[in-house]
Amino acid sequence: MDARAFRPLDVTGFFSLVMVWNRGVSFGMFGGGGEATRWLLAIFAVGVAAGLVVWMRRQSLRRQALATGLAAGGALGNAADRIVHGAVADFFDVHLGTWSWPAFNVADSAITAGVAILVADALLTPKSGRKVGP
Catalytic residues: 90, 108
Q: Would you give the distance in Å from CA 116 to the centre of its chain? A: 12
Q: Calculate Rg over the CA atoms of the chain.
A: 18
Q: State which H helix or E strand residue 10 sits in.
A: strand 9-10
User: Which residue intervals of the chain are DSSP H helices?
Assistant: 34-57, 62-85, 106-124
